[in-house]
Amino acid sequence: MKHILIADDSDVIRSIVEQTLRLHKYENILKAIDGQDALEKAKANKGHIALYVLDVNMPRMDGLTLVKELRSFDATTPIIMLTTETDKSKMLTARDYGATGWIIKPFQAEKFIKIVEMYVKP
Amino acid sequence: MTVEKKSALRTQVHALNSLLAGYEPGDLLKGVDIRDTLSSLKKEMESLPHMDKLLQLTRHLIRVAEALADPEKEPHAMNLLRSTGKDYEAFLAGSLSAKEFSERIRARSSLFQQVLRGQKEPTVSRRDQPEVDTESGRLEPAETESRRTEKGKPSKNADGQGSPAEVRTGYGEGYFDGIVEDEKLLSQFYLEAKEHLEEAQSALVELEYDPTNKELINNLFRNFHTIKGSSAFLGLRNVEELSHAVEDLLALVREGKIFLTKELIDLVFHGMEILRNLLEGMQINEFRPQDMKKSFQIIEIFPYIGLMRRVLEQYKYRKIGEILAEEGKITLQDLQHLLKRQQETEKKIGELAVEEKIATTEDVLEALKKQKSQVAKVKRLGYVKVSNEKLNTLIDIVGELVINQSMLKQELLERSGVDRGERNISQLETITTTIKNLVLSMGMTPISEIFTKLRVVARNTAEELGKSVYLEMRGEDTELDRNVIETIYDPLIHIIRNSIDHGIEDAEERQRKGKDKVGRIILAAEHKGSGIEIIIEDDGKGIDPELVKAKAVELGLVKREEAEELSLKDTYGFLFLPGFSTSSAVTTVSGRGVGLDVVKKNLDSIHGRVEVVSEKDRFTRFIIRLPLTLAIIEGFVTRVGENKYVFPFSAIEEIKVIDPAEILASENGNGSEALIYHRGMHIPVLKAHKVFKEEEKGRDDRILSLLFSLDQSRYCVVVDDLIGKQEIVIKNLSDTLLQECPYFSGGTIFGDGSIGFVVDMQGFLEALK
């Protein structure tokens, strides 16, 4: 069973995303507190990640750079960006770098799960 | 089929098309919305008779919508959805006949196939070529009801979306209904938000003095951004709206559209205060949503949000009328008159002013130009980022260049009669010097970088101790080697905390002494000679030299009778010895054993010096002298044995020629020791040969030595020859060499191509022990 990697510097958002996923029987979840952390965890679990869920604004390494870094060794795993209305402009760049799509915060858990289900089954 | 049902279908297809129109590639949430709308459309149809074909088409469309999640299929899928959606709506509205509709769908069948290939199968039926048989669809156009579809449009959220001037007061009914009933999450949010507010606070304090610092602005923005994002999740709408308002302001600042003035900083501070209150309101109610709501009710946020909006409006645009009035082109009465006319006519102020012949067309055009320019007023300087590594290599290479150049000069000078060569070489010298200075300046950073941080330190320390202190800064733009700046940060923190803790008296005592209640600390930096001088001066109680002497005697550092004769400089010098503290009380702020000796040690490592001057009840002044850069130092070149050795010039007090007869033999713990008696002190005479393992060639008539002052002690270091003071470009030695010879800090190459070693005095003295 592959993992879902969540990277967000906010404890709250990480918890919410994690809770939502667990509620829907997604058990293998990796969490990262910033971009650098996420990159390290992605490298350490290379080939065992089914989906990335990344925040755009993060310390140490922002989400956009992270996408670029991830795509340098993983060309196919879907990448979902968590963004906000104010950062929406960055999403074009994110797509250029290889992000699959984006979700604007705040979002409903129900919709989030529908999106995740399109890429990974629990 | 009832009219209501048909109209419901049309409404849904209309909503679908609105969604499709607003879709941007990658918008996963909208993708889900599109799919959900199609699904409910499907459900609606399933309840109706004779809808097989349309139902089938809708099922296919659902699968097409699913393909939106795949970036490769997304563009085709979107095209298909948009064109089909339009036809669908036209058909339901009756403007497209069933036959036409059917033909159009059939024309797209290959596109459908392409998108649906590999897409998961529909749950009900399987048909690769979607087509519509309108005959069994039996949907008659119904013009009479076409207008009602408008109602299906998602209406804009009515509250909070009004014009900037429109301000809500009080929380509406159900405002707090969305709060998540999860105490754990709420308390987690509380901690997180608190942390962000703290970060924001210190960024803001720094921004007060460095309002264009991009990094700080970004950090600040992120703090509020995160608070906004998390609070929205938890349904804390008040927190969300408030942090959103602040974020809006910071977004404009970040984009360089407005300048972060003192007033705006105060405004942000004010917002943080309210946010803090809201957070406290959560905590005191132990994160029980029902109780939190009651606390929230009494904390007003809308006046602040309204204020923020008005302020933003004002910053975004200065009105033409205001500009004209400020420039003296029109009077205030004119302006009022124009404003009144504007309400009546709804014309622009500029137009009216010209019409009423109050201002000329030129004036108005001028004012318009000014209005435009104020938006982009923030000064922009172009910068290029260069890695430290590259810069260091460059500095290194320029060092080589300087050396080579002086080697070349020497060679040319030795061959006399090369006049032109001499002129050329002096030109080369000028160029090299310019390059050298330029390159060194690239590694320089203004000292304001740490000064502003020190201001936060001062603010916090004073708060901790309940004192009030004003920190005055001078010469913040003085530039220093980045490495030097990093090294002096900790020492400066220590000195400032010391000054506030031990120097500045509390308000009562200050008043008794006739001083201003607010203590004053001056932090100044300026170029002095070939280095930089930093002064930290407080107007506190000063350091009593008698107290220092008494402590020194008590610790056995000096004999009582000698203490009387000590100079002030020497007396204060004791303060920099490990474990030396005159303070009777130990507070949490400073005075826990880590003292000024650490300050001294840090400064020594970059060839800096520190000194104290003080007057009782008036002031204490720390003077720190630093070299401009670590790459080039002022050195004193000597010869010992066969080699050249460079001593740091800053540590040398004088050159002492010793008459052998002066030398006194003495004993210390390790055995015999040579001393001289000089200026009332016994000074040990150390032979550099011993450390450097050079052969001693006995010269008996006179002994050349350098007199060093280090850590409150003096030493005479005997060398064979004195070559002189010189600017030394330091080259790094290999790690192995440094490990074997810890008394060297580096090497250098001289103009004649010979090499020398740069001596580290601390290491040198250790080696003798």
ipTM of the prediction: 0.86
What's the pLDDT score for residue B143?
35
- Mean pLDDT (chain B) is 78
B754 found inside a domain: yes
Q: What is the share, in percent, of chain B residues with pLDDT greater than 90?
A: 4
* Residue A122: inside a domain: no
Nearest to B164 by CA among B268, B278, B315: B315
Residue B766 pLDDT: 80
The minimum CA-CA distance between A52 and chain B, rounded to whole Å, is 14
The predicted model gives A29-46 an average pLDDT of 91
Same domain membership, residue B615 and residue B581:
yes
Please state at what angle helix B28-46 crosses helix B52-66, rounded to 10 degrees.
160
Cα distance between residue B233 and residue B519, in whole Å = 46
More confident residue, B123 or A74: A74
CA distance B527 to B444: 13
- Residue B419 confidence (pLDDT): 65
Same domain, B459 and B608: yes
Tokens representing B338 are 């124009």
Kindly state whether residues B27 and B94 are assigned to the same domain.
Answer: yes
Q: How far is CA B630 from CA B405, B605, B738, in A?
A: 21, 10, 17
User: Is A20 among the domain residues?
Assistant: yes
Residue B1: pLDDT above 60? no
Give me the residue label for tokens 């996408």: A67
SS3 B584: coil
pLDDT at position B202: 86
H helix intervals, B108-236:
109-116, 134-137, 183-209, 214-233
A·B CB contacts under 8 A:
79
> How far does chain B reach from its first CA to its final CA, in angstroms?
106
B462-520: pLDDT as tens digits: 888 888 888 888 888 888 877 788 888 888 988 898 888 888 988 888 888 888 888 89
Q: At what angle do helices B482-498 and B448-465 cross, to 10 degrees?
A: 20
Give the closest-approach CA distance of A21 to chain B in angstroms.
Answer: 16
Q: Count of alpha carbons within 13 Å of A24, Cβ hemisphere only?
A: 19
Average pLDDT of the segment spanning B23-34:
87
Query: Quick check: B263 pLDDT over 80?
Result: no
Are B436 and B486 found together in one domain? no
Among B643, B738, B636, residue whose Cα is nearest residue B695: B643
Residues B24 and B111 in one domain: yes
What's residue B353's pLDDT? 78
Residue B625: the pLDDT is 85
In a domain, B164, yes or no: no
Per-residue pLDDT, B148: 37
A26 domain residue, yes or no: yes
pLDDT tens digits along B416-428: 665 666 777 778 8
Q: Which residue of A has its CA nearest to B29?
A: A103
Q: Is the pLDDT of residue B645 over 90?
A: yes
Within a domain: residue A62?
yes
Flag whether A13 is in a domain.
yes
Greatest CA separation for chain A: 36
Residue A93 structural domain: 3-117
Q: Which amino acid is at B181?
A: E
The tens digit of pLDDT for each residue in B148-186 reads: 333 333 333 334 333 333 444 467 777 888 888 888 888
Q: How many CB atoms within 10 Å of residue B599?
A: 24
B652-658/B643-648 β-pairing: unpaired
Q: Does the beta-carbon distance from B28 to A9 stay under 8 Å?
A: no
Contacts of A78 in chain B (CB under 8 A): 69
Greatest mean pLDDT range, A40-54, B57-71, B395-409, B746-760: A40-54
Q: Which of residues 53-82 of A touch B (CB under 8 A)?
A: 57, 59, 78, 80
Tell me: do B142 and B203 sit in the same domain.
no
pLDDT in tens, B362-417: 877 777 776 665 544 433 445 677 777 888 788 878 877 877 777 777 777 777 66
Q: Tell how strand B652-658 and strand B703-710 pair up.
A: antiparallel
Q: Please, what sign has the CA dihedral across residues B502, B506, B508, B510?
A: positive
B681, B709 in Cβ contact below 8 A?
A: no
- Residue where one domain finishes, among candidates B108, B137, B152: B152
Tell me, what's the pLDDT at B135? 39
**How many whole angstroms separate alpha carbon A50 and alpha carbon B664?**
82
Q: What is the mean pLDDT of the segment spanning B71-88? A: 85
> Do B404 and B336 belong together in one domain?
no
For B702, counting Cβ atoms within 10 Å of its Cβ (0-12 exposed, 13-18 middle, 19+ buried), the class is exposed
Together in a domain, B237 and B264: yes
Residue pair B439/B468 in contact (Cβ under 8 Å)? The answer is no
For residue B142, count CB atoms less than 10 angstroms from its CB and return exposed for 0-12, middle for 13-18, buried for 19 or more.
Answer: middle
User: Are B85 and B39 members of one domain?
Assistant: yes
Give the Cα separation of B29 and B106 in Å (integer): 30
- Report the C-alpha gap between B427 and B431 in whole angstroms: 6
Judge whether A111 is closer than 8 Å to chain B, CB to CB: yes
CB contact under 8 A, B232 and A105: yes
CA distance B455 to B33: 51
Contact list, A59 vs chain B (CB under 8 Å):
222
Residues of B in contact with A15 (CB under 8 A): 185, 188
Please indicate, yes or no, whether residues B255 and B344 belong to a single structural domain of this protein.
Answer: no
Tokens 């563009």 map to which residue? B75
Residue B202 DSSP label: H
The three-state secondary structure class of B707 is strand
Q: What is the pLDDT of residue B376?
A: 44
Contact predicate B715/B759, CB 8 Å = no
- Are B229 and A100 a contacting pair at CB < 8 A? no
By the 8 A CB rule, do B542 and B513 touch?
A: no
Q: CB distance A101–B27 less than 8 Å?
A: yes
Q: Can you give the pLDDT at residue A57?
A: 86
Confidence of residue B2 (pLDDT cuts 50, 70, 90): low
Q: What is the CATH number of the domain that holds A19?
A: 3.40.50.2300
Is B683's pLDDT higher than 80? yes
- Single-letter residue type at B567: S
Contact between chains at B28 and A16 (C-beta distance less than 8 A)? no
Percent of chain B as helix, strand, coil, to the nearest 5: 55, 15, 30
Q: Is B159 buried (19+), middle (13-18) or exposed (0-12) by CB count in 10 A?
A: exposed
Q: Which two tokens stand for residue B146?
A: 């076409």
* Cα-based distances in Å from B725 to A76, B344, B437, B645, B650: 65, 82, 20, 12, 11
pLDDT score, position B622: 92
| Mean predicted confidence (pLDDT) in B628-632 | 67
Q: Give chain B positions within 8 Å (CB) of A91.
A: 24, 26
Q: Nearest 10 degrees: CA dihedral of B674, B676, B681, B687?
A: -60
B31–A101 C-beta distance less than 8 A? yes
Average pLDDT for residues B598-625, to the nearest whole number? 85
- Cβ-count burial B340-358 (b if 16+ within 10 Å, e if not): ebeeeeeeebbebbbeeeb
Mean pLDDT of B526-540: 83
Report pLDDT for A39. Answer: 92
Predicted TM-score (pTM) of this structure: 0.39
pLDDT in tens, B82-138: 888 888 888 887 788 888 888 888 877 777 877 777 665 443 333 344 444 443 433
Of the residues B233, B241, B253, the best mutation for testing chain A's interface (the one with the most A CB atoms within 10 Å of its CB) is: B233
Q: How many CB atoms lie within 10 A of CB B571?
A: 20
CA B234 from centroid of its chain's CA atoms: 30
Q: What is the CATH number of the domain that holds B655?
A: 2.40.50.180
Q: Residue A102 falls within a domain, yes or no?
A: yes
pLDDT band at B700 (very low <50, low <70, confident <90, very high): low
Q: How confident is the model at residue B537 (pLDDT cuts 50, 70, 90)?
A: very high
Residue pair B64/B116 in contact (Cβ under 8 Å)? The answer is yes
Q: In chain B, how many domains are there?
A: 6
- The confidence band for B19, taking pLDDT boundaries of 50, 70 and 90, is confident
B281-305 burial code (b ≥16 CB/10 A, e <16): bbeebebebeebbebbeeeebbebb
Write out the two tokens for B512: 């008794």
* DSSP result, B134-170: HHHH-----GGGGGGGGGGSPPPP-TT-S-TT----S
* Between B330 and B282, the higher pLDDT residue: B282
φ/ψ of B118, rounded to 5, equals 80, -10
Model pLDDT for residues B210-238, shown as the tens digit of each residue: 888 888 898 899 899 889 888 888 889 89
Return the pLDDT at B695.
82
> For residue B320, what are the contacts with CB-CB under 8 A and spacing of at least 6?
B348, B349, B350, B364, B367, B368, B371
Q: Is there a contact between B372 and B364 (Cβ–Cβ < 8 Å)?
A: no
Give the single-character DSSP code of B610.
E
Residue identified by tokens 């290599």 is: B393
* Number of domains present in the structure of chain A: 1
Instruction: Tell me which chain A residues have a C-beta less than 8 angstroms from the C-beta of B69.
Output: 78, 100-101, 115, 118-119
**Domain containing B291: what range?**
183-316
pLDDT at B534: 93
With CB atoms and an 8 Å threshold, state whether A84 touches B228: yes
Instruction: Characterize B612-632 residue by residue with b for buried, 16 or more Cβ atoms within 10 angstroms of its Cβ, and e for exposed.
Output: bbbeeeebbbbebbbbbbbbb
Would you say residue A120 has pLDDT above 70?
yes
Compute the distance between CA of residue B2 and CA of residue B455 in angstroms, rounded to an integer: 75
Interchain proximity A115–B29, CB inside 8 Å? yes
Asked if the model's pLDDT at residue A93 lies above 80, the reply is yes
Helix (H), strand (E), coil (C) string for B723-744: EEEEEEECECCCHHHHHHCCCE
Alpha helices, H only, B538-697: 545-554, 560-565, 568-573, 596-604, 688-692
Q: Tell me the CATH number at B481.
A: 3.30.565.10
The stretches of B374-505 forming alpha helices (DSSP H) are 388-414, 419-442, 448-465, 482-498
pLDDT at A4 exceeding the cut of 90: yes
Please determine, for residue B662, whether its predicted confidence score (pLDDT) is greater than 90.
Answer: no
Can you tell me which residue has the tokens 């009933």?
A: B181
Instruction: Give the other-Cβ count within 10 Å of B264's Cβ.
Output: 21
Contact residues, chain B to chain A, C-beta under 8 Å = 24-29, 31-33, 35-36, 66, 69, 71, 185, 188-189, 191-192, 222, 225-226, 228-230, 232-234, 247, 251
Clarify whether residues B231 and B342 are in a common domain. no
DSSP string, chain A: --EEEEE-S-HHHHHHHHHHHHHTT---EEEESSHHHHHHHHHHTTT-EEEEEEESS-SSS-HHHHHHHHHTT-SSS-EEEEE-GGGTTHHHHHHHHT--EEEESS--HHHHHHHHHHH---
- Domain-located, residue B161: no
For residue A31, count other CB atoms closer than 10 A to its CB.
Answer: 18
Angle at B468 between CA B462 and CA B474, to 5 degrees: 85
Nearest alpha-carbon partner for B232 in B220, B218, B247, B217: B247
Q: Give the distance from residue B254's alpha carbon to the nearest chain A alpha carbon, in angstroms.
A: 12
CA–CA dist B475, B534 (Å, integer): 9
Determine contact: A16 vs chain B, CB below 8 A. Answer: yes
Dihedrals phi, psi of B612, to nearest 5 degrees:
-120, 135
d(CA B317, CA B338) in angstroms, rounded, equals 18
- Domain identity same for B298 and B367: no
